Structure 1
Amino acid sequence: MTEAKKVEQAKVEKFSARIMEDYGNTLRGAMLHIGDRLGLFKSLSQAGAVTVEELAQTTGLNARYLREWLGSMVTGNYVEYDRETKRYRLPPEHAPVLADEDSPYFAGGIMQLSVPFVSMAPKIIEAFRKGGGAPEESFPLETWEGMERMTMPWYKNFLVQRWIPSLTGVKEKLEAGGSVLDFGCGSGLAAITMAKAFPKAHVVGSDFHGPSIERARANAKAAGLGDRVQFEVSDSDALVGKKFDFVTTFVVIHDATNPLQMMTDLRRATADDGTYLMVELNLSAELHENMNLNGRVMYPQSTLYCMTCSLSHGGAGLGAFVGEPRLREMATKAGFNRFRKVPSDMPPLPALFELRP
């Protein structure tokens, strides 16, 4: 066998191992989902080093299943294992990601979304063959709770503390009682966060997805803000004649059926001296510039959710193909005269854009 053949065989073996690793990671996503939903990471964070039996007693869960689950976590380097004492320990550096819902790094929503997204693969296969896509109502209801939890760290740690103060004059307007529209509000966490921070402001959340609006109203009531935040089921065409000092969308535009029309409607709903904050995927329009963590996450997620939902309605299907140049072009066509990418020192997702008439 020539030297070239040997090199090629080595590459085959290396890539074969990579496939096995990816397969294990996919299955481990289900284990992460189980650990998150059963509160196992929180239990481990609070307990310190524990045996299987001690964890079973603390959680009330089956010891045999816990042993196998812990094996997944140890071999995946999520949990440490002491072979002498047979005790398991969640490293303190992992707790902000796996166990602390107030942490900016909390990943519970991501862990929760992995299962419903992967479960959609058979339906997406049909879209590959026939075109179209999978509409929002075809996804498990758990999807929307997962999305709520995925974006929750943004609203808890960045929206009021960093993002709004980085925009020209917005904080002052809201403190004085300005009006806010969070379009595509989902379960309402951003709107509720702004209502808490700016008690004089008038806050409205809008989304075309009825179950999300029901959840938003319940969240507002639980936060004691049921009479301060208004949630409505509507699409952007229902904004005609309404004006707001501050308009927000959080990773909405790339999902839209008609993103240009949506941005045009949002421009009309933005007061002439107002601001539109567009939070979007931090991806390039060029594939070769997305050879990074963002790209490895967002292309699969776009295929399984973002793009396919838009295409299911005969839409543009931008998904991960959005990119800053395309957003800037649409903003100009929609009637915005100023477009600025807001500098951010937070982790690579998402990107913030300040648009003004």
Structure 2
Amino acid sequence: MSAAAQQDVASATDPQALVREDLRDFAGYRSARSESLQGRIWLNANESPWRNDADGDGTLRRYPDPQPQALRNALADLYGCAPEQLLAGRGSDEGIDLLVRAVCRPGGDAILISTPTFGMYAVSARLHGTRVVDVPLREDAQGWQCDFAAVATAVRRDGVKLVFLCSPGNPTGALMPLSAIAALARQLDGQALVVVDEAYQEYANGPSAITLLPAHRNVVVLRTLSKAHALAAARIGSVIADPELIEVLRRCQAPYPLPVACVEQALQALAPAARAATGEHIATVLGERESLRSALAAAPGVRRAYASSANFVLVRFDDAQAAFDRLLSAGVVVRDMRAAPGLGDALRISIGTPEQNRQVIALLAGGAA
């Protein structure tokens, strides 16, 4: 075994050691659906014995399975992990909230973020009474870079228990090197969980951080069906991690997090034909991404259009308000990023259909859409 491989295997501290001490033996709420029982007449959950007129087949009066095995199996197959490594929930947002609640003591521990980044990490922490430590991304000629050495130093100095790395980044579009994430996980073994938010991974070129899990038990990966799989309204996200940590998070989760209708829609979206169609849509986005970025970079008044590994492009303008207004006046809504740290001149533009992208380019180039 190589020295690097031996180092990887050494990063294997039980992640339960990082869970709040008062929650390590927490049993959570055991709902009526938590028991694996079979029967013909169900009188164990105080449900109505009559169906609602809006319920065609009579199933909506029954509480849903908290973690439907068919969904866990389908998601595990999609992401290349074992079902016991995966917890399904209400989008990635619930995963973020569960991690903060399970790991960080209110008023004691801290999370670490690298701005500009997804705002929900800080929101969840502050709602939980948890400190937020910011090690900002560095901008250079290549784009946005994470200062991994500074992150490791801040974890040890500031009592950080959760490190949130958004890769590909939102709103930057930047992809973090897996080798650097693995090295950070090794350094922080037994000190912090390294949470890699891969909401946009389907648009990235390269392997997922899920591949790090066998050697790094303190790595956690967040995934979602909201972006590439076009199910934002269904709210299906996944936490993928060491099975023992997944079991802790499951005990901290609400009793019935997954509505039946959303589960059914997710299973349809994960069927082979639907996955093939999703692959075609992703290919279209990838084909449009660089051409859109290049055209935006050449548009008058654009300071910089960043390379992206996601399904959007971050753009700096001489006058971001004028660009925003010009687009909006033509019915094109983009994300104003000027309130984000370091982005006082930026807009984030999602990649649309080829025709929608042409309209954006024409509008920002000063022509008629």
Q: Fold conserved (TM > 0.5)? A: no
TM-score range, shorter chain: under 0.3
Q: Which has the higher contact order (CA 8 A, sep 6+)?
A: 2
TM-score by length of 1: 0.24
